Amino acid sequence: MANLDTKIKLYLEANSKVYKNELSNFEIENNSDGNGDFIASWNVSGLAQPTDSQIASYETAGNTAENLSGVLHTRASQYPELKEQLDLLYKDMVADKGDKTGEWFKAVKKVKDDNPKG
């Protein structure tokens, strides 16, 4: 199940709003009553607070966005450090392997293959 924050982000973007510009204009709370997160306040200029059905309509897109974010985070943590990548590229260029046979390409391809976007 997608987080409420993710669904709000998608709602804002679908209505031509920039999520990070609007972060201070809404508040999400959870009363620990088993009902989950809810919008406690909404002050986004020119855009009505989304209804429950509008928020629910972003469930699939929210799941997709959250899955992609997880994959990208995992990839970022598994890629070699930039200085190591540059060293691999340099060595590949010296060895005339600036193509798919080079060590840099193989290292990056492995991370991407191990963590497909979906």
32, 61: one domain: yes
- Closest-CA residue to 62 (of 16, 24, 19, 9): 9
110, 64: one domain: no
67, 105: one domain: no
9, 42: one domain: yes
116, 93: one domain: yes
71, 17: one domain: yes
55, 30: one domain: yes
- Closest-CA residue to 39 (of 30, 47, 48): 30
Q: pLDDT tens digits, residue range 80-117?
A: 999 999 999 999 999 999 999 999 999 999 999 999 99
Other beta carbons within 10 Å of 6: 20
Please give the sequence-ordered ranges of beta strands (E in DSSP) within 31-70, or none if there are none: 37-42
Q: pLDDT tens digits, residue range 23-68?
A: 999 999 999 999 999 999 999 999 999 999 999 999 999 999 999 9
Q: Give the residue numbers spanning the domain of 116.
A: 79-118
pLDDT score for 40: 97
Please give the sequence-ordered ranges of beta strands (E in DSSP) within 20-111, or none if there are none: 26-30, 37-42
102, 70: one domain: no
55, 99: one domain: no
1, 51: one domain: yes
pTM above 0.85, yes or no: no
43, 96: one domain: no
Per the structure, how many domains does the chain have?
2
**Cβ-contact 19, 9 below 8 angstroms:** yes
Residue 118 has pLDDT above 80, yes or no: no
